[in-house]
Amino acid sequence: MNVENAAIIGAGMAGLTAALALSRRGISCQVIEQAPYLAEVGAGLQLSPNATRILGRLGVLPQLEHVWTEPDMIALASGRTLGRIAHVPVGRSARERWRAPYGVLHRGTLQTVLSAAVSAEPLCSLHLGHRIDRADPATVAAVTGVTPDLIIGADGVWSMVRESITNAPEPDFSRNVAWRFTIASEVAPDFLSPYSVTAFLGPSAHIVSYPLREIGGYNIVAIASGVDPGHTWEAHGDTRQKQILLDQFHGWHPKVIDLLRGTQDAKFWPLYQVSNGAWQNGRNTVLIGDAAHAMMPFAAQGAAMAIEDGWQLALCLSSATSLPAALAAYESVRKARIARVRQRGSFNRFAYHLRGPLRFGRDLVLSLRPPQSLAADMDWLYGYEAS
């Protein structure tokens, strides 16, 4: 197939992974990013084995392993009592069961490692500080000096590239926000575990905590209802918004309330998702990552799906007989995968936020299941091999 040059709009995880994956197959990549420098907003990030397996094949995993933490378990706990309900073993178990590690790290660490690898790749060029207003070859060539055979939209939930695709997905605010902050180990409450990713569950809300080795502390994410601040990934909550958050944790353990009340630098991310729709135009343009399938974070798979997208697109481009055939194959394979991940996320959202008697039933059922049985439920997700 005669694809020699690709233009990737967006230098986030999806775009940088795609650039590395395509260049490994001999395709030149021009990565265009409107920001003048690369700085990933947010704090913590979970990378499950389905993602780290790909990062290993791209040659960037060792740099991450030097700085990340591999938690012993993913635990579910009660937000009211702080007692553990159930857990899935990861750590060494992840490497043995799924043949790849489960790591937690700062988003900026992954951004730095991927961008360094792209910069070192002779077939890749980064063009920072350039905004593309039209996703067409002539506009791209004016910035890069290269006319692309393929344009890849990796420009996030408010994608501009998506506008060039008929019947493309549309973004929608979920009416939930993720309140994100970090806390240093020396002042962290004793219920935060340095050895696990822990999801504290409660009515209509939950909190996820895990250690971040790079900062010597913990990443905290509280997910609950919230107000849409507009097109931003990082907004500072005012007093009213913070009170909305605290009200939704009424009845939780006092230590949790104290933690939330004491935060001074918490930021909130509006949680957007996109509808179903076309991911490619049948000729020369395709969407990856959040531009194609932004979803709620209840399966902790946003980054992993972006990484899988980049790898799968490269596989399809290297095996199909034509560019339209490659784009159709990519869309078909990835839509099926994303649908299943979204279904899992929807189930988790329902289960995590249960109230009353259903909550007690959930806790009983989970507590009776052996950890390895719960791990087996994740084989389809963490053991996934793109082909």
- How buried is 192 (Cβ within 10 angstroms: 0-12 exposed, 13-18 middle, 19+ buried)? buried
DSSP character string of 38-96? ----SSEEEE-HHHHHHHHHTT-HHHHHTT-B--SEEEEEETTT--EEEEEE-THHHHH
What is the DSSP annotation of 258-306? HHHHT-SS-EEEEEEEE-S--SB-SSSEEE-THHHH---GGGS-HHHHH
Distance of CA 247 to the CA centre of its chain: 28
Residue 345 has pLDDT above 50, yes or no: yes
Element at 21 (helix H, strand E):
helix 13-23
The confidence score (pLDDT) of residue 10 equals: 96
- Distance CA(200)–CA(206), nearest Å, equals 6
pLDDT (mean) for 106-128: 95
- In DSSP notation, 237-249 reads --HHHHHHHHHHT
Q: Is the per-residue pLDDT at 259 higher than 80?
A: yes
Q: What is the mean pLDDT of residues 98-105?
A: 98
CA atoms lying within 13 Å on the CB side of residue 20: 28
Predicted structure pTM score:
0.95
Give the three-state DSSP class for 174: strand
How many CA atoms lie less than 13 Å away from 179 in the CB half-sphere?
Answer: 26
Going from N- to C-terminal start, the domains of the chain cover 5-170+273-382
* Token digits of residue 243: 């009170």
pLDDT score of 132 more than 70 = yes
pLDDT of residue 243: 80
Cβ density class 80-97: b for 16+ within 10 Å, e for less:
eebebbbbbbbbebbeeb
Q: How far apart are CA 290 and CA 270, in angstroms?
A: 14
Region of 75 on the Ramachandran plot (φ > 0 left; ψ -120 to 50 alpha; else beta): beta
What CATH number belongs to 5-170+273-382? 3.50.50.60
pLDDT at 283 over 50: yes
Q: Tens of pLDDT along 226-250?
A: 655 555 545 566 677 778 778 889 8
Q: Which of 191-195, 245-249, 337-341 is predicted least confidently?
A: 245-249
CA atoms within 13 A on the CB side of 376: 5
Q: Given this model, what pLDDT does residue 84 score?
A: 97
- Cβ atoms of 162 and 16 within 8 Å: the answer is no
- Whether 9 and 160 have beta carbons less than 8 Å apart is answered as yes
Pairwise CA distance, residues 74 & 102, whole Å = 10
Which residue shows structure tokens 């077939």? Answer: 123
The radius of gyration of the chain's CA atoms, rounded to the nearest angstrom, is 21
Count of all residues that appear for the chain in the document: 387
